[in-house]
Amino acid sequence: MSCFINPVKEDLCVYLTYEGHLSMIEIMSVQYEANALLAAKRWNRIVVDITGLLSEFAAQELFELAKGLSADLPESVRIALVARPDQAKQARLIESIARNDGLFLSFFLDVEAATNWAKGINLQERMKPQPAGNPVKVR
């Protein structure tokens, strides 16, 4: 069992990584610690990387995990869930349940894309003023 909770002040984000075989109780326990850290620091971003997780879970367990996330976090928190392609079905289920409960969770297959989304970089880029077409030379 390996779990890493890495708070990064520059990003105002907690990075949570799961590796190996873990029980659902172990996963929820570590998630609870990460949630408490988010609350203590008053941050609203977390990237959860499950690409190294070898355990498989039944749909009911995934449902309980997603419900637990929703209960412990305020709606302002952005959760980026990073999964392998073979975990995509489970990640979509977690995303769907969490979003139905009002949590802002999205899953990704790429860590960099997940981190950028959690930090709101794509949104910030879209909000920057863009030039309107080709510049016109004025005398």
Q: pLDDT at residue 52 above 70?
A: yes
Using CA atoms, how far apart are residues 61 and 81, in angstroms rounded to an integer?
17
Tokens of residue 76, six digits: 């302002």
Task: Please answer whether residues 83 and 91 qualify as being in contact, where contact means their C-beta atoms are separated by less than 8 angstroms.
Answer: yes
- Looking at the domain assignment, is residue 135 inside a domain? no
The pLDDT score that the predictor gives to residue 120 is 85
The pLDDT score that the predictor gives to residue 139 is 52
Q: Which of 1, 19, 74 is nearest to 43 (CA)?
A: 74
The CATH number of whichever domain residue 119 belongs to comes to 3.30.750.24
pLDDT-derived band at 137, boundaries 50, 70, 90: very low
Using the Cα atoms of residue 44, residue 119, residue 82 and residue 76 in order, give the sign of their dihedral.
Answer: positive
- Looking at the domain assignment, is residue 136 inside a domain? no
- Looking at the domain assignment, is residue 133 inside a domain? no
Question: Within a 10 A sphere around the Cβ of 133, how many other Cβ atoms?
Answer: 6
Chain centre distance of CA 40: 18
- Looking at the domain assignment, is residue 132 inside a domain? no
pLDDT tens per residue across span 78-125: 999 999 999 999 899 889 888 888 888 899 999 999 999 988 886 545
Q: pLDDT at residue 24 above 50?
A: yes
What strands lie across the sheet with 104-108, from one edge to the other?
2-8, 13-20, 45-53, 78-82, 104-108
Question: Within a 10 A sphere around the Cβ of 77, how many other Cβ atoms?
Answer: 20
Task: Give the residues across from 53 on adjacent strands.
Answer: 20
Question: Within a 10 A sphere around the Cβ of 48, how many other Cβ atoms?
Answer: 26
Total structural domains in the chain? Answer: 1
Tokens of residue 104, six digits: 């802002």
- Looking at the domain assignment, is residue 42 inside a domain? yes
- Looking at the domain assignment, is residue 31 inside a domain? yes
- Looking at the domain assignment, is residue 43 inside a domain? yes
**In the chain, what percentage of residues exceed pLDDT 70?**
84
Domain coverage including residue 14? 2-127
- Looking at the domain assignment, is residue 139 inside a domain? no
